[in-house]
Chains A and B, each alone.
Chain A
Amino acid sequence: NAGVMQNPRHLVRRRGQEARLRCSPMKGHSHVYWYRQLPEEGLKFMVYLQKENIIDESGMPKERFSAEFPKEGPSILRIQQVVRGDSAAYFCASSPLPGQGGINEKLFFGSGTQLSVL
Protein backbone atom coordinates (compact mmCIF):
# COMPACT_ATOMS: atom_id res chain seq x y z
CA ASN A 1 0.00 0.00 0.00
CA ALA A 2 1.85 3.02 -1.28
CA GLY A 3 2.00 6.06 0.92
CA VAL A 4 1.62 9.68 -0.13
CA MET A 5 3.80 10.18 -3.19
CA GLN A 6 5.36 13.51 -4.01
CA ASN A 7 7.44 14.37 -7.03
CA PRO A 8 9.86 15.58 -7.88
CA ARG A 9 11.97 15.04 -4.78
CA HIS A 10 14.15 18.01 -5.66
CA LEU A 11 13.29 20.84 -8.02
CA VAL A 12 15.61 23.61 -9.11
CA ARG A 13 14.24 26.70 -10.82
CA ARG A 14 15.64 30.06 -11.84
CA ARG A 15 13.95 33.25 -10.73
CA GLY A 16 10.90 33.97 -12.86
CA GLN A 17 10.25 30.37 -13.88
CA GLU A 18 7.26 28.29 -12.87
CA ALA A 19 7.36 25.41 -10.38
CA ARG A 20 4.88 22.54 -10.38
CA LEU A 21 4.82 20.19 -7.44
CA ARG A 22 2.79 16.98 -7.56
CA CYS A 23 1.15 14.97 -4.83
CA SER A 24 -0.65 11.65 -5.14
CA PRO A 25 -2.59 10.89 -1.96
CA MET A 26 -2.83 7.48 -0.41
CA LYS A 27 -5.30 5.12 -2.04
CA GLY A 28 -8.80 5.89 -0.90
CA HIS A 29 -7.94 9.36 0.42
CA SER A 30 -9.79 12.28 -1.09
CA HIS A 31 -8.54 15.04 1.22
CA VAL A 32 -5.20 16.71 0.51
CA TYR A 33 -3.25 19.32 2.46
CA TRP A 34 -0.15 21.28 1.47
CA TYR A 35 2.38 22.55 3.99
CA ARG A 36 5.53 24.59 3.50
CA GLN A 37 8.69 24.55 5.59
CA LEU A 38 10.86 27.62 5.12
CA PRO A 39 14.50 27.41 6.30
CA GLU A 40 14.80 27.43 10.09
CA GLU A 41 11.02 27.33 10.52
CA GLY A 42 8.37 24.69 11.20
CA LEU A 43 5.92 23.38 8.65
CA LYS A 44 3.06 25.78 8.03
CA PHE A 45 -0.35 25.01 6.59
CA MET A 46 -1.03 26.39 3.12
CA VAL A 47 -4.16 24.86 1.62
CA TYR A 48 -6.73 22.09 2.05
CA LEU A 49 -8.40 20.53 -0.98
CA GLN A 50 -10.94 17.89 -1.75
CA LYS A 51 -11.51 16.50 -5.22
CA GLU A 52 -12.22 19.47 -7.50
CA ASN A 53 -12.71 21.83 -4.55
CA ILE A 54 -10.52 24.18 -2.55
CA ILE A 55 -11.83 24.01 1.00
CA ASP A 56 -9.41 26.32 2.80
CA GLU A 57 -6.61 28.37 1.24
CA SER A 58 -6.07 30.69 4.16
CA GLY A 59 -2.37 29.82 4.36
CA MET A 60 -1.58 30.44 0.71
CA PRO A 61 0.33 33.55 -0.32
CA LYS A 62 -2.03 35.92 -2.11
CA GLU A 63 -0.09 36.03 -5.36
CA ARG A 64 1.69 33.55 -7.61
CA PHE A 65 0.57 30.44 -5.71
CA SER A 66 -2.30 28.18 -6.72
CA ALA A 67 -3.39 24.63 -6.01
CA GLU A 68 -5.72 22.15 -7.59
CA PHE A 69 -6.91 18.60 -7.02
CA PRO A 70 -8.68 17.42 -10.16
CA LYS A 71 -11.13 14.58 -10.41
CA GLU A 72 -8.43 12.46 -12.00
CA GLY A 73 -4.73 12.68 -11.27
CA PRO A 74 -2.56 14.15 -8.56
CA SER A 75 -2.92 17.38 -6.65
CA ILE A 76 -0.73 20.15 -8.07
CA LEU A 77 0.82 23.08 -6.23
CA ARG A 78 1.84 25.69 -8.78
CA ILE A 79 4.14 28.62 -8.12
CA GLN A 80 4.45 31.18 -10.89
CA GLN A 81 7.42 33.51 -11.36
CA VAL A 82 9.36 31.98 -8.49
CA VAL A 83 11.59 34.14 -6.27
CA ARG A 84 14.43 33.13 -3.96
CA GLY A 85 12.10 33.39 -0.96
CA ASP A 86 10.05 30.49 -2.35
CA SER A 87 12.96 28.13 -1.66
CA ALA A 88 11.58 25.68 0.88
CA ALA A 89 10.43 22.12 1.47
CA TYR A 90 6.84 21.57 0.40
CA PHE A 91 4.99 18.73 2.06
CA CYS A 92 1.74 17.15 1.05
CA ALA A 93 -0.52 15.17 3.37
CA SER A 94 -3.71 13.23 2.83
CA SER A 95 -6.47 11.85 5.02
CA PRO A 96 -9.40 9.52 4.53
CA LEU A 97 -11.71 11.72 6.58
CA PRO A 98 -12.78 15.32 6.14
CA GLY A 99 -10.34 17.72 7.76
CA GLN A 100 -12.28 18.54 10.86
CA GLY A 101 -9.51 18.06 13.39
CA GLY A 102 -11.46 15.36 15.17
CA ILE A 103 -9.88 12.99 17.64
CA ASN A 104 -9.69 10.30 14.98
CA GLU A 105 -8.02 12.60 12.52
CA LYS A 106 -4.79 11.38 11.10
CA LEU A 107 -2.74 12.99 8.39
CA PHE A 108 -0.37 10.90 6.29
CA PHE A 109 2.55 12.90 4.95
CA GLY A 110 4.71 12.53 1.90
CA SER A 111 8.49 12.93 1.93
CA GLY A 112 8.32 16.43 0.51
CA THR A 113 9.67 18.35 -2.47
CA GLN A 114 12.70 20.54 -1.89
CA LEU A 115 12.42 23.60 -4.12
CA SER A 116 15.57 25.60 -4.73
CA VAL A 117 15.36 28.91 -6.59
CA LEU A 118 18.60 30.18 -8.08
Chain B
Amino acid sequence: AQSVTQLGSHVSVSEGALVLLRCNYSSSVPPYLFWYVQYPNQGLQLLLKYTTGATLVKGINGFEAEFKKSETSFHLTKPSAHMSDAAEYFCAVSASGTYKYIFGTGTRLKVLA
Protein backbone atom coordinates (compact mmCIF):
# COMPACT_ATOMS: atom_id res chain seq x y z
CA ALA B 1 0.00 0.00 0.00
CA GLN B 2 1.12 3.53 -0.70
CA SER B 3 0.73 6.71 1.29
CA VAL B 4 1.93 10.29 1.15
CA THR B 5 2.60 12.71 3.98
CA GLN B 6 3.04 16.41 3.41
CA LEU B 7 4.48 18.19 6.42
CA GLY B 8 2.93 21.59 6.98
CA SER B 9 -0.49 22.43 5.62
CA HIS B 10 0.54 26.10 5.38
CA VAL B 11 3.97 27.50 4.56
CA SER B 12 4.90 31.19 4.36
CA VAL B 13 8.06 32.54 2.78
CA SER B 14 9.28 35.99 1.87
CA GLU B 15 9.62 36.94 -1.77
CA GLY B 16 13.11 35.93 -2.92
CA ALA B 17 13.56 33.34 -0.17
CA LEU B 18 14.03 29.61 -0.60
CA VAL B 19 10.89 27.53 -0.98
CA LEU B 20 10.96 24.07 0.61
CA LEU B 21 7.82 21.92 0.63
CA ARG B 22 8.20 18.53 2.25
CA CYS B 23 6.83 15.22 1.04
CA ASN B 24 7.46 11.76 2.42
CA TYR B 25 6.01 8.65 0.86
CA SER B 26 5.51 5.01 1.63
CA SER B 27 5.48 2.42 -1.13
CA SER B 28 6.12 -1.31 -1.27
CA VAL B 29 7.09 -1.10 -4.95
CA PRO B 30 9.20 1.39 -6.90
CA PRO B 31 7.15 4.56 -6.87
CA TYR B 32 6.39 7.17 -9.44
CA LEU B 33 6.30 10.55 -7.65
CA PHE B 34 4.58 13.76 -8.68
CA TRP B 35 4.14 17.34 -7.60
CA TYR B 36 1.01 19.16 -8.72
CA VAL B 37 0.13 22.81 -8.19
CA GLN B 38 -3.32 24.35 -7.99
CA TYR B 39 -3.66 28.07 -8.51
CA PRO B 40 -6.89 29.72 -7.33
CA ASN B 41 -9.92 28.70 -9.41
CA GLN B 42 -7.83 26.47 -11.65
CA GLY B 43 -7.25 22.74 -12.05
CA LEU B 44 -4.27 20.84 -10.73
CA GLN B 45 -1.26 21.32 -13.00
CA LEU B 46 1.70 18.95 -13.15
CA LEU B 47 4.89 20.61 -11.90
CA LEU B 48 7.24 17.68 -12.23
CA LYS B 49 7.46 13.92 -11.87
CA TYR B 50 9.96 11.25 -11.06
CA THR B 51 9.68 7.86 -12.74
CA THR B 52 13.15 6.35 -13.20
CA GLY B 53 16.66 7.59 -13.81
CA ALA B 54 18.07 10.84 -12.49
CA THR B 55 16.94 11.50 -8.96
CA LEU B 56 16.98 15.28 -9.29
CA VAL B 57 14.00 16.31 -11.35
CA LYS B 58 13.49 19.78 -12.79
CA GLY B 59 10.02 21.08 -13.43
CA ILE B 60 8.27 24.17 -14.63
CA ASN B 61 8.57 27.66 -13.11
CA GLY B 62 12.01 26.97 -11.61
CA PHE B 63 10.90 24.19 -9.26
CA GLU B 64 12.84 21.00 -8.71
CA ALA B 65 12.58 17.94 -6.49
CA GLU B 66 14.97 15.24 -5.42
CA PHE B 67 14.00 11.60 -4.98
CA LYS B 68 15.81 10.19 -1.93
CA LYS B 69 15.05 6.52 -1.56
CA SER B 70 16.91 6.16 1.74
CA GLU B 71 14.80 8.92 3.28
CA THR B 72 11.60 8.05 1.36
CA SER B 73 11.34 11.73 0.50
CA PHE B 74 10.56 13.85 -2.53
CA HIS B 75 10.81 17.44 -1.30
CA LEU B 76 10.01 20.33 -3.63
CA THR B 77 12.33 23.34 -3.76
CA LYS B 78 12.74 26.64 -5.54
CA PRO B 79 15.74 28.89 -4.85
CA SER B 80 13.84 32.18 -4.94
CA ALA B 81 10.13 32.57 -4.30
CA HIS B 82 8.00 34.79 -6.48
CA MET B 83 4.61 36.24 -5.64
CA SER B 84 3.10 34.19 -8.45
CA ASP B 85 4.13 30.97 -6.68
CA ALA B 86 1.36 31.42 -4.12
CA ALA B 87 -0.84 28.35 -4.59
CA GLU B 88 -1.61 24.94 -3.14
CA TYR B 89 0.88 22.18 -3.83
CA PHE B 90 0.10 18.46 -3.82
CA CYS B 91 2.55 15.58 -3.68
CA ALA B 92 1.37 12.26 -5.13
CA VAL B 93 2.65 8.72 -5.47
CA SER B 94 1.72 5.99 -7.89
CA ALA B 95 2.93 2.41 -7.93
CA SER B 96 4.57 1.83 -11.30
CA GLY B 97 2.03 0.56 -13.74
CA THR B 98 -1.06 2.10 -12.19
CA TYR B 99 -2.99 5.33 -12.62
CA LYS B 100 -4.28 5.22 -9.04
CA TYR B 101 -2.44 8.20 -7.68
CA ILE B 102 -2.37 8.69 -3.91
CA PHE B 103 -2.24 12.36 -2.99
CA GLY B 104 -1.07 14.14 0.10
CA THR B 105 -3.32 16.61 1.88
CA GLY B 106 -1.66 19.58 0.21
CA THR B 107 0.48 22.52 1.34
CA ARG B 108 -0.74 26.06 0.82
CA LEU B 109 2.19 28.35 0.01
CA LYS B 110 1.96 32.01 0.87
CA VAL B 111 4.57 34.45 -0.45
CA LEU B 112 5.08 37.63 1.54
CA ALA B 113 6.17 40.86 -0.09
- Please give the residue numbers on chain A whose beta carbons come within 8 Å of chain B beta carbons, in ascending order: 3-4, 6, 33, 35, 37, 40-45, 48, 56, 58-59, 91, 93, 95, 99-103, 105-112
> Pick the contact of A48 from B38, B43, B51, B99 — CB < 8 Å?
B99
Judge whether B43 and A111 touch: CB under 8 Å: yes
Alpha-carbon distance between A59 and B44 when the two chains are bound, in angstroms: 20
* Interface segment, one of B12-20, B56-64, B73-81, B100-108: B100-108
What are the 3 A-B residue pairs with the smallest beta carbon separation, nearest first? Answer: A99-B99, A42-B103, A109-B44
Alpha-carbon distance between A56 and B32 when the two chains are bound, in angstroms: 20
Closest to A95 in B: B99
For the A-B complex with A43-B92, A44-B102 known, give 4 more contacts whose Cβ atoms are closer than 8 Å: A45-B100, A45-B101, A45-B102, A100-B97
Q: What residues of chain B lie closer than 8 Å to A101, measured between beta carbons?
A: 32, 94-100
Q: What residues of chain A lie closer than 8 Å to B4, measured between beta carbons?
A: 42
Within 8 A of A (CB), among B30-84: 32, 36, 38, 41-46, 51-52
Alpha-carbon distance between A110 and B41 when the two chains are bound, in angstroms: 10
- Please give the residue numbers on chain B whose beta carbons come within 8 Å of chain A beta carbons, in ascending order: 4, 32, 36, 38, 41-46, 51-52, 90, 92, 94-106
Judge whether B43 and A112 touch: CB under 8 Å: yes
Closest to A41 in B: B105
A3 shortest CB reach to chain B, Å: 6
Judge whether B43 and A43 touch: CB under 8 Å: no
